[in-house]
Amino acid sequence: MHSWRHSPFLRPLVLGFVSLLLLASGVPVAQADGVPGPGQVTLEKTCTPLGGPYTPAGSVPPGGVLVCTVTMKLGAGTYPTLTVTDVVSGGGHASDTVVSALLQSDQLNRQVYLLGNESGACLTVCTVEFSYRIRAPSTLGCYRSISNGVYVDQAGVTGHLAVASDNFSVNCNATR
């Protein structure tokens, strides 16, 4: 029996049909150029030490300040309220690792900060930026790893729509 996978005529026809079926189903299709497709959300996060990098790379001294920028891109569509939060893990309490955003919860080694709520319609692609600062703890010792993640959530949707993270370490020997 001759399989359709080996037929030079039927294979492109079947693959083309499957592609059209996906497009017609409303499943968001990722864009190759990094631009979110209709209904998609992308997130990028960068944090850099205030005044320039330290050695070793990825570290800051106790009390060092990081300047963070989060860029959220929304593909074409209408968005009910999207909540953007920053979660700091491994940095003690909020009084140890200070973030210039609205504190939502403060547990030992886990703080949640609200960066913003966004809603509305995008005709093509919308870009929203959030900027804030994180002060590394100076009360928790010289060698500490801090995990930092940003999440976009929508009420009624299971899981995160987008996630970005940036980790850093507190190092008493960090130098410029």
* Band of residue 141 on the pLDDT scale cut at 50, 70, 90: confident
pLDDT for the residue 33: 58
How far apart CA 169 and CA 137 sit, in angstroms, is: 10
Each residue's pLDDT tens digit, 53-111: 999 999 999 999 999 999 999 999 999 999 999 999 999 999 999 999 999 999 999 99
DSSP 80: E
Which numeric CATH code is attached to 31-170? 2.60.40.10
CB 32 within 8 Å of CB 102: no
* Band of residue 142 on the pLDDT scale cut at 50, 70, 90: confident
What Rg value do the Cα atoms of the chain yield, rounded?
Answer: 22
pTM value?
0.77
Phi, psi of 115 (to 5 degrees): -90, -35
Peptide linkage before 36 cis (omega within 30 of 0): no
CB 152 within 8 Å of CB 164: no
How far apart CA 160 and CA 153 sit, in angstroms, is: 5
For the chain, give every domain's residue range: 1-29, 31-170
Asked if pLDDT for residue 152 goes beyond 60, the answer is yes
Asked if pLDDT for residue 148 goes beyond 50, the answer is yes
How far apart CA 91 and CA 99 sit, in angstroms, is: 11
Helix (H) or strand (E) holding 158: none
Q: Averaging pLDDT over each range in 14-28, 65-79, 135-149, which range is the top one?
A: 65-79
Cβ neighbours, 10 Å, residue 33: 5
Length of the chain: 176
- 10-14, 84-88, 99-103, 156-160 — which is least confidently predicted? 10-14
User: Per DSSP, what are the bridge partners of residue 59?
Assistant: 169
pLDDT for the residue 130: 97
Burial grade of 83 (CB within 10 A; 0-12, 13-18, 19 or more):
middle
Asked if pLDDT for residue 129 goes beyond 90, the answer is yes
Q: Could you tell me whether strands 77-89 and 110-122 are parallel, antiparallel, or unpaired per DSSP bridges?
A: antiparallel
130: nearest Cα among 41, 1, 44, 56: 44
Asked if pLDDT for residue 4 goes beyond 60, the answer is no
Each residue's pLDDT tens digit, 27-38: 344 444 568 999
pLDDT for the residue 32: 44
